[in-house]
A = this chain, B = another copy of it.
Amino acid sequence: MSCHIILQKKGYRLTPQRVEIIRILHNSNQHISADEIYTKLKTKFLYANKSTVYRTLELLKEENLVIDSILEDKIIRYHIAAKGDHHHLICSKCNKIISIPEDIFEATRKIIEEKYGFEISIKHEILIGLCSDCRKS
């Protein structure tokens, strides 16, 4: 079900700004910062405002439609919460983003559970490294 319909069903208004922000999030396969969204939004709405971006992201987050994550650069980035698409590899050289399945941490999860009795709740993990292309060069 699309974000728009979910918002509408919950009684939120589908303003052009919200529609555009959702479109920007969808069109960006990168994890994107609030500021980048704002810049893109401005190309369509001359008077668009950052607080609209933040308020919309807050709303989408509350409705579990977007996920925010924070990397070592301390900038919060957002992406659409697609089912089973919560973990990513990000190449530190070319910034390529690869989605990885949820069960990738199963081995680690089991080891930690057996060794420490600790139950990890990995919701959205990002691993930095080098992709295969960049390793070759």
Contacts and interface: CB of A to CB of B under 8 A. Distances in A.
B121 A89 contact: no
Contact of A117 (B100, B111, B116, B132): B132
A62 interface: no
A70 B107 CA distance: 24
A130 interface: yes
A119 B120 CA distance: 23
Nearest to A89: B118
Given A70-B70, A104-B112, A108-B107, A121 B129 contact: yes
Interface in A75-110: 76, 89, 91-92, 98, 100, 104-105, 107-108
Contacts of A122: 127
Contacts of A132: 116-118
A92 B121 contact: yes
B118 A131 contact: yes
A9 interface: no
Contacts of A117: 131-132, 135
Contacts of A119: 129-130, 135
Interface of A: 70, 72, 74, 76, 89, 91-92, 98, 100, 104-105, 107-108, 111-112, 115-122, 127-132, 135
